[in-house]
């Protein structure tokens, strides 16, 4: 790599040519790591190097604000469990820079800081992780690297994206279980706390079909959305199943979030990303992955608070509202 390459303030390898951990000209994909916990930085660097990435920068979160802008790699991994004013300023600055140079961001945070982190990063479409374990970070890196190759994730068909999402969740569940194995082969932590859960095939069909009247006419009069009390009753009934059966048997985050946002739309309420993650019934990192897919499918929309730009909400798109209205109308 030429020394002059690092003089560019927003340097990043061209991600369009990156494949199998390699950037244009055969150079390895570059990774920057910013985390205040030294042991975490070391672990991330070890995992990244094992995946064939080159760590070009590693430091504390303050390094994102102090001094001149550092060059960014193809992938930037940030850990910010707390969202104070300085951290949010650093994330907002990083978000804008990453969007300009097409770097991919992986940001880990806590449940308490999720809303603040989500709200300040609206330019670069970062991958958000909530209290991730080592397996979850490795899987996030793998997914980002898959998106850097010629077969970029966003260029896949909707069916293929959903299939890959479900496959990734199952692989993540296996990886999480392996990580929790003691030397004698016993599981030392409840598998239900893993990063991913199986998402039903029905969710994929729903995403493909929602918003389309049976006669194929998008201009047919749309029925009204159902009474919010009915939707809330359905939500309570779905949640009650966990009292009698393993909740993992019924994990269907896309549908649970659609129901929650439908009720909120009728009630004229706004839903934060943290609240929606809770409504999904799956771990926050899994819920965030599904929210991203629903946004790509034009079913969810990110909406900023006009009175406070530090806050953002999730709501149904008109396409999703139409699909939900027709679904409830067909139920009779």
* Residue 141 main-chain phi, psi, to 5 deg: -60, -45
Task: Give the pLDDT of residue 161.
Answer: 53
> Quick check: is 170 in a domain?
no
Judge if 110 and 205 occupy the same domain. no
Task: Give the pLDDT of residue 3.
Answer: 36
Task: Give the pLDDT of residue 189.
Answer: 42
Q: Could you give the CA distance from residue 78 to residue 140 in angstroms, rounded to a whole number?
A: 12
> Quick check: is 169 in a domain?
no
Judge if 108 and 12 occupy the same domain. yes
**Of 101, 134, 155, which marks where a domain is finished?**
155
- Which residue, among 255, 266, 276, 268, has the nearest Cα to 226 in the 3D structure? 266
Judge if 208 and 306 occupy the same domain. yes
> Quick check: is 164 in a domain?
no
> Quick check: is 186 in a domain?
no
Judge if 142 and 264 occupy the same domain. no
Domain around 221: 201-330
> Quick check: is 308 in a domain?
yes
Query: Residue 250 is part of a domain; what is its CATH number?
Result: 1.10.10.10
Judge if 207 and 110 occupy the same domain. no
Highest averaged pLDDT of the listed ranges 21-25, 65-69, 99-103, 218-222: 99-103
Q: How many domains does the chain have?
A: 2
- pTM for this entry: 0.70
56, 32 in Cβ contact below 8 A?
yes
Query: Residue 89 is part of a domain; what is its CATH number?
Result: 3.40.50.2300
> Quick check: is 300 in a domain?
yes
**Of 155, 170, 189, which marks where a domain is finished?**
155
> Quick check: is 185 in a domain?
no
Q: Could you give the CA distance from residue 293 to residue 119 in angstroms, rounded to a whole number?
A: 18
Judge if 274 and 140 occupy the same domain. no
Using 50, 70 and 90 to split pLDDT, how confident is the model at 207?
A: very low
**CA 257 to each of CA 129, 144, 264: distance values in angstroms, whole numbers, following the listed order:** 18, 25, 10
> Quick check: is 165 in a domain?
no
**Of 119, 136, 155, which marks where a domain is finished?**
155
**CA 236 to each of CA 16, 59, 245: distance values in angstroms, whole numbers, following the listed order:** 45, 46, 15
Task: Give the pLDDT of residue 188.
Answer: 43
Does 55 have pLDDT greater than 80? yes
Judge if 228 and 113 occupy the same domain. no
225-281 pLDDT per residue, tens: 999 999 999 999 999 998 899 877 888 999 999 999 999 999 999 999 999 999 999
Q: Could you give the CA distance from residue 206 to residue 159 in angstroms, rounded to a whole number?
A: 11
Judge if 134 and 218 occupy the same domain. no
């Amino acid at each position: 790599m030429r020394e002059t390459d690092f003089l560019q303030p927003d340097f990043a390898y061209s991600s369009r040519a990156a494949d199998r951990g390699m950037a244009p000209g055969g150079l390895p994909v570059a990774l920057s790591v910013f985390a205040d916990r030294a042991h975490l930085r070391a672990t991330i660097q070890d995992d990244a190097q094992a995946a064939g990435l080159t760590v070009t920068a590693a430091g504390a979160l303050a390094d994102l604000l102090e001094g001149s802008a550092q060059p960014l790699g193809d992938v930037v991994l940030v850990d910010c469990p707390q969202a104070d004013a300085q951290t949010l300023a650093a994330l907002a600055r990083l978000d804008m820079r990453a969007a300009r140079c097409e770097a991919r961001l992986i940001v880990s945070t806590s449940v308490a800081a999720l809303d603040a982190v989500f709200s300040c990063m609206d330019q670069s479409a970062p991958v958000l992780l909530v209290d991730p374990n080592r397996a979850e970070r490795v899987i996030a890196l793998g997914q980002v690297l898959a998106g850097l190759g010629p077969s970029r994730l966003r260029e896949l068909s909707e069916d293929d994206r959903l299939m890959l999402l479900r496959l990734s969740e199952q692989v993540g569940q296996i990886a999480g279980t392996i990580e929790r194995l003691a030397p004698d082969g016993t599981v030392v932590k409840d598998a239900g706390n893993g990063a991913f859960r199986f998402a039903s095939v029905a969710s994929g069909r729903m995403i493909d079909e929602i918003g389309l009247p049976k006669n194929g006419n998008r201009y047919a009069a749309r029925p009204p959305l159902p009474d919010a009390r009915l939707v809330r009753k359905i939500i309570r009934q779905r949640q009650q199943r966990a009292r009698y059966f393993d909740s993992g048997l019924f994990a269907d985050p896309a549908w649970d979030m659609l129901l929650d946002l439908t009720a909120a739309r009728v009630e004229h309420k706004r839903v934060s990303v943290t609240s929606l993650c809770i409504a999904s019934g799956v771990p926050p990192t899994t819920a965030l992955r599904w929210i991203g897919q629903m946004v790509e499918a034009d079913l969810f929309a990110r909406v900023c608070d006009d009175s406070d730009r530090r806050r953002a909400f999730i709501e149904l798109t008109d396409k999703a509202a139409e699909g939900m209205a027709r679904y409830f109308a067909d139920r009779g």
